[in-house]
Amino acid sequence: MKAGLVVDGDYICEEEKHLTVLKTSLFFANDGFTVYDCKGQLVFRVDSYGPDPRDKAEVVLMDAHGRCLLTVRKKRPSLHHRWEGFLGERSEGQKPVFSVRRSSIIGRCGMEVEVFNNPGEEYHIEGNFGQRSCTVFNAAKESVAEIKRKVDASTNVVLGKDVFLLSLKPGFDGAFAMGLVLALDQINGDDYVVSDEHEMSPTAQD
């Protein structure tokens, strides 16, 4: 698989990796997240900024020590609900490194990911983020990351949608992948189906 955008090289693995993503609040859609590895160690955390806590126009991805890795901000105006990613803590006039938007302004559709300053690098997201079931494909149509419901290993019970898995293919940056998760969460509001080509299995529905 061809190497893609790197937000932070420390989060690129040589083997497939599975991260557990936990919504830190259920009172409002699009609140913060904490992300853990398979050993239960904190990898990322996410905070939202803005004068109105219900208006999450900007979210910040940080590492376990609070260092800002990526800022994801809503582009206004945008008919396609475009969100842009900036390296580190965004500053005035800074150029984004990627953007995520709906493929169409009407109906059910996928999501398009554009990477700037890297011709030929693009991604397409298919599936249902609201049900925590979607896949990120690169330009060669290879799966590079997958979001799916988490199953309790001891009881074989599918957990609630506030806890889910982010699976990363070798060579794909986990920080970039979390940036895509943040954009999907903001665009979809947990209710929007990003593609009608992907149907959920009965065991994965509430």
Span 77-95, pLDDT tens digits: 555 578 999 999 888 888 9
Tokens of 147: 């979001």
Per-residue confidence band for 190, with pLDDT thresholds at 50, 70 and 90? very low
Q: What's this model's pTM, rounded to 2 decimal places?
A: 0.83
Burial of 144 (0-12, 13-18, 19+ CB in 10 A): buried
Calculate Rg over the CA atoms of the chain.
16
3-class secondary-structure state, position 87: strand
Percent of the chain with pLDDT over 70: 77
39-43, 109-113, 161-165: least confident range: 109-113
Average of pLDDT values for 99-119?
Answer: 80
What percentage of the chain reaches a pLDDT higher than 90?
Answer: 49
SS3 content of the chain, % helix, strand, coil (to 5): 10, 35, 50
Specify the residue for token string 């938007």: 101
Compute CA distances 111 → 148, 158, 187, 196, whole Å: 17, 26, 10, 12
CA distance 158 to 160: 7
Confidence of residue 104 (pLDDT cuts 50, 70, 90): low
Three-state DSSP state, 174: helix
pLDDT per residue as tens digits for the range 43-63: 999 976 544 444 567 889 999
Confidence class for position 135, pLDDT limits 50, 70, 90: very high
